[in-house]
Amino acid sequence: MRTTTKKRARPARAACAAAALALLAQHCLAQGDAIGAFSQMVTGPLGAPWHFATLPNKAPTDFSVVELNGEHVLRVATHDAYGNMVHALHQPPSVALQLHWRWRVEQLVEQADIRTRAGDDAALKLCVSFDYEKSQLSFGERAKLRLGKISTGEDIPAETLCYLWDNRLPVGSVLHNAFTHRLRFIVLQSGSAHLGQWVTEQRNLAADYLQAFGEESASMPAVIGITVSADSDNTHGSGLAYMGDIRLQP
Q: What is the pTM of this model?
A: 0.83
> How much is the mean pLDDT over the chain?
86
- pLDDT at residue 55 above 60? yes
Tens-place pLDDT, residues 169-227: 999 999 999 999 999 999 999 999 999 999 999 999 999 999 999 999 999 999 999 99
pLDDT at 2: 42
Largest CA distance in the chain: 81
Residue pair 229/54 in contact (Cβ under 8 Å)? The answer is no
Rounded Cα distance, 65 and 197, in Å? 18
Average confidence (pLDDT) over 16-37: 46
Range from 31-35, 58-62, 157-161, 242-246 carrying the lowest mean pLDDT: 31-35
Q: How confident is the model at residue 136 (pLDDT cuts 50, 70, 90)?
A: confident
Please count the residues of the chain. Answer: 250
Range from 26-30, 107-111, 146-150, 216-220 carrying the lowest mean pLDDT: 26-30
pLDDT at 108: 98
The closest of 126, 99, 90 to 202, measured between CA atoms, is 99
Rounded Cα distance, 11 and 18, in Å? 10
- pLDDT at residue 6 above 70? no
**CATH topology for the 36-249 domain:** Jelly Rolls (2.60.120)
pLDDT at 60: 97
pLDDT at 145: 77
Average confidence (pLDDT) over 60-79: 97
Residue pair 38/65 in contact (Cβ under 8 Å)? The answer is yes
Range from 59-63, 109-113, 132-136 carrying the lowest mean pLDDT: 132-136
- Annotated domain spans of the chain: 1-32, 36-249
- pLDDT at residue 22 above 70? no
Q: How confident is the model at residue 27 (pLDDT cuts 50, 70, 90)?
A: very low
Residue 39: exposed, middle, or buried by beta-carbon count in 10 A (0-12, 13-18, 19+)?
A: exposed
DSSP labels, 166-177: ESSSPTT-EEE-
